[in-house]
Amino acid sequence: MAYLAWDMPQPGTAMLQDLLSWLVSVVLVAGASTLLVVVLVRRSAVHLVVAEAQASTAARTDPLTGLPNRAAFNDVLGGRMITMAHGLGLRVVCEGVETAEELHLLRGVGCDLARGFQLDRRLPIQLLAERWLEADGALVAVA
């Protein structure tokens, strides 16, 4: 008894065998490039965190003496004064808020009320009275 085996020609297989080394090299180069990008992104992220910490330190210290400057003093003192006032059952009103950054900082340390040009400019008494009456005498936060 005999069997007849007939292999169909598969032209795609021959082409893939010819291109196999080229495809492997493309995949290796793409993988190496991806790995390099990941390493560089991680390294730059670490450098960014270090630079941010250095900038924060530099902003709060005197460049000549290395001692804490007014910004560091204000951060520590302001936060502790607000904590002390709240401990005494008082509400804290911060005067002279001129930027959105200052307002955000004050909200972060627990300031109850704020006044300043960031919230509103000086108003004529008539306009102030109108706003007061519109709010039914309630304290209105503008921002």
pLDDT at 2 over 70: no
pLDDT of 142: 47
CA distance 114 to 92: 8
Q: What is the mean pLDDT of the chain?
A: 82
As given in the structure block, the two tokens for residue 56 are: 């924060």
Q: Which residues fall within 8 angstroms of residue 67, CB to CB, at 6 or more apart?
A: 61
- Name the DSSP letter for residue 123: -
The model's confidence at residue 6, banded by pLDDT at 50, 70 and 90, is: low
SS3 assignment, position 76: helix
pLDDT at 126 over 50: yes
The model's confidence at residue 137, banded by pLDDT at 50, 70 and 90, is: low
pLDDT tens readout for residues 78-121: 778 888 999 999 998 888 888 888 888 888 888 888 888 877 77
